C-alpha cells in the first residue's frame, strides 16, 4: 500500500483514502437497470474473465484473470491462502499469455468462468469499481451489478459518497453469497459446495493503474470514444466531483 501511495503521489493522482492505512473494502448491491453511460462521470471499461483452478482445499483458492481493453490483455495468477494472524494471504503474479494458456488447463470444472465488465470511475473524490456480470453465467448472476470501493470512512459517512445516479439495494460487504467464488459455482448452492470461509471474497483491482487511467488525458473507453467526454460525446468533468446531473 505504501509503495502504491507513493507512486500515485508522484503522478499527481488523488486516490482519496483508498490506499490509507486501515482502508477497508466495501461492496454494495446495485439495483438495475444499469443507467445510461451519459449518467456516469469519466470512466474506463475493462473486460475481465476469471477462471478458478483446481486446488487441494477450498481454504486455498487459485484463479486466473484475463483483463483487457481495446484488444490488449494482461494476465494474472492469484493464490489466496488460509488466514495467518487474522489476515488472508494473497499472492498475485503477472504472467504471460503462454503461461495463462497452460494454467487454464487446470480449470476447476465445478466453477463456471466469470465474465464481467469492470467500470472504474471517480465520484465525490472516491474511486469506485462497478462489476457488470455478463453471459454466460449461472442464473444467480442474471443482471447482477456490484459496486466496490475501499475507504477508512465509517459506513454511514461512505454512503453519503456513493454515486447518486446508482440505485443502491444494500450493503453486502462480507456476505459470502456475493463472493465471486460462490457466484461462479456451476451447481446450485448446497452445504457441500457453498463456502463461507475467510478466503471467499475476490480480489481487488490495481488502484494505481485504475486511477491513473482515469486521470490521463486522451484515454479511450472500450467503444473508442474519448473517456474524458463519456460514451455519448457529452462533456463530463475530469474531477472527482459527481452530482448525478
Q: With a cut of 60, say whether residue 74 has pLDDT above it.
A: yes
* In-domain check, residue 71: no
Residue 209 host element (H or E): helix 207-214
- The sheet carrying 167-171 orders its strands as 87-95, 72-84, 61-69, 43-53, 114-123, 126-134, 145-151, 24-31, 167-171
- Of 215 and 101, more confident: 101
66 in a structural domain? no
Report pLDDT for 191. 76
C-alpha cell at 124: 465525490
Cell of 118: 469492470
Neighbour-count burial of 21, counting CB atoms closer than 10 A to its CB (0-12 exposed, 13-18 middle, 19+ buried)? exposed
Would residue 91 count as lying in a domain? Answer: no
pLDDT band at 26 (very low <50, low <70, confident <90, very high): very high
Asked whether residue 44 is domain-assigned, the answer is yes
Instruction: Tell whether 16 is covered by a domain.
Output: yes
Closest CA to 57 of 77, 80, 78, 76: 80
Q: How many helices (H) and strands (E) does the chain have?
A: 5, 9
Whether residue 68 lies inside any domain: the answer is no
How many angstroms separate the CA atoms of 152 and 24, rounded? 6
- pLDDT of residue 60 exceeding 80: yes
Tell me if 208 is assigned to some domain.
yes
Query: Out of 19-23, 148-152, 232-236, which region has the weakest mean confidence (pLDDT)?
Result: 232-236
The Cα–Cα gap between 218 and 216 comes to 6
Cα 173 to Cα 112, 140, 201, distances in angstroms:
23, 18, 9
Q: What does pTM read for this prediction?
A: 0.79
Does residue 243 fall inside a structural domain? no
Count of domains observed in the chain: 1
Domain of residue 198 covers: 2-48+114-220
Query: CA quadruple 96, 73, 51, 85: dihedral positive or negative?
Result: positive
Q: For residues 213 and 217, what is the distance between their CA atoms, to the nearest angstrom? A: 8
The pair phi, psi for residue 61, each rounded to 5°, is -115, 140
Q: 77-108, pLDDT tens digit by residue?
A: 999 887 666 677 889 999 999 999 999 999 99
Euclidean distance between the first and the last CA atom of the chain, given in angstroms as a whole number: 34
Amino acid at each position: 500500500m505504501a509503495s502504491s501511495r507513493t507512486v500515485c503521489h508522484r503522478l499527481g493522482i488523488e486516490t482519496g483514502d483508498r490506499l490509507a492505512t486501515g482502508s477497508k473494502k466495501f461492496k454494495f448491491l446495485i439495483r438495475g437497470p444499469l443507467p445510461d453511460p451519459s449518467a456516469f462521470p469519466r470512466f474506463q471499461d475493462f473486460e475481465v474473465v476469471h477462471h478458478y483452478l483446481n486446488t487441494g482445499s477450498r481454504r486455498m483458492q487459485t484463479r486466473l484473470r484475463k483483463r483487457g481493453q481495446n484488444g490488449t490483455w494482461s494476465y494474472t495468477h492469484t493464490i489466496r491462502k488460509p488466514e495467518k494472524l487474522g489476515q488472508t494471504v494473497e499472492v498475485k503474479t503477472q504472467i504471460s499469455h503462454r503461461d495463462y494458456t497452460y494454467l487454464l488447463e487446470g480449470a476447476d470444472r465445478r466453477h463456471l468462468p466469470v465474465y464481467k465488465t469492470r467500470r472504474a470511475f471517480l465520484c465525490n473524490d472516491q474511486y469506485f469499481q462497478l462489476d457488470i456480470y455478463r453471459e454466460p453465467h449461472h442464473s444467480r448472476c442474471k443482471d447482477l451489478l456490484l459496486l466496490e470501493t475501499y475507504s477508512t470512512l465509517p459506513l454511514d459517512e461512505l454512503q453519503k459518497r456513493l454515486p447518486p445516479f446508482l440505485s443502491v439495494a444494500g450493503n453486502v460487504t462480507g456476505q459470502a453469497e456475493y463472493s465471486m467464488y460462490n457466484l461462479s459455482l456451476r451447481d446450485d448452492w448446497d452445504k457441500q459446495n457453498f463456502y463461507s470461509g475467510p478466503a471467499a471474497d475476490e480480489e481487488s483491482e490495481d488502484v494505481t493503474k485504475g486511477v491513473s487511467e482515469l486521470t490521463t488525458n486522451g484515454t479511450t473507453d472500450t467503444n473508442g470514444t474519448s473517456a474524458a467526454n463519456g460514451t455519448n460525446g457529452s462533456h463530463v468533468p475530469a474531477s472527482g466531483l459527481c452530482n448525478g446531473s
